[in-house]
Structure 1
Amino acid sequence: MIEAAITITEGKIGVESIENILALGKELLDKDIELLDGVEDVLKALHGKYRLVMATKGDLLDQERKLNKSGLARYFHHIEIVSEKQEPEYRKLIKHLDIQPNQFLMIGNSLKSDILPVLNIGGHGFHVPFHTTWEHEKADANIDHQNFKALENIREVLDFIRV
């Protein structure tokens, strides 16, 4: 944000404004993590019965911070933080897990980076929409694929997976 402010103001931003930007950043870092309703229940139900993997994208330190604050890290066999979630990253993850693509199920809220790449490589994708989705993650697609399920909420996962 500071870099953007410097660019926008052509280097004329004042110290007070930079201090305000830093305070906003620190406030964001201190915010509590809000878990989506049902997420921990589903993780508890699946933990120990399946190898659960968190695959997320973004800044490494920020993603690690959020995962640690969430208290959910204990449920995961493996955590993968990448800069992009596209077919090559999913292929690499599947190879690391030593499984076949048809043994991999991705549950996510982004059709573009969670679901479509996994379906394209032969995996399964369950889409759980979220009321806010980053514009970059939106995909205009009606998916007609045998390995795809559109769910209303995360708890519906348990209707399709043996526990």
Structure 2
Amino acid sequence: MDLTETQISSTAIHDASFLKVYQDQIRLPNGNSSQRLVIRHPGAACVLAITPENQVVLVRQWRYATGQALLEIPAGKLDEGEDPAQCALRELAEETPYSAERVEKILHFYSAPGFCDEVLHVYRAINVQANSTLQPDADEFVETVLYSAEQVRQAIANNEICDAKTLIALQTWLMGQS
């Protein structure tokens, strides 16, 4: 069965720095037409960083849309043309006192494919060291938090970690801990 929906037209509704919202007219697989609201996003990279003491590097930051501070792995949006691996290294060094020699790709996924094309690239940091001198962006306020595997398990069980990218990365780490 062909499930392809084909764009007939697209109208920009809103252009806000890195997010763009479109109202698209589409042709459905059965030949009928419909509409889709789509958010275009440049994508993001995030990094699972484990210290030599076997603690995961997390950041606590206020997320306005949720009305609360969330505990997350370091992450950030891709600049135009930026390699996601370089973005992951940059975000780790900007948001925390840690840096890494390099990163290895774990996986990538769509954050909300029902209405957004954002792809998140998840990396594992290699050779993590507490030596970064970079600073967060001017509008970014973050607190570095280090958790052991047991603390992560407890925080997940208590719903203290509820960010999708973080849960995916941490489950990858925890599977290797068992």
- Flag the structure with higher helix content: 1
TM-score, normalisation: structure 2: 0.27
TM-score, normalisation: structure 1: 0.28
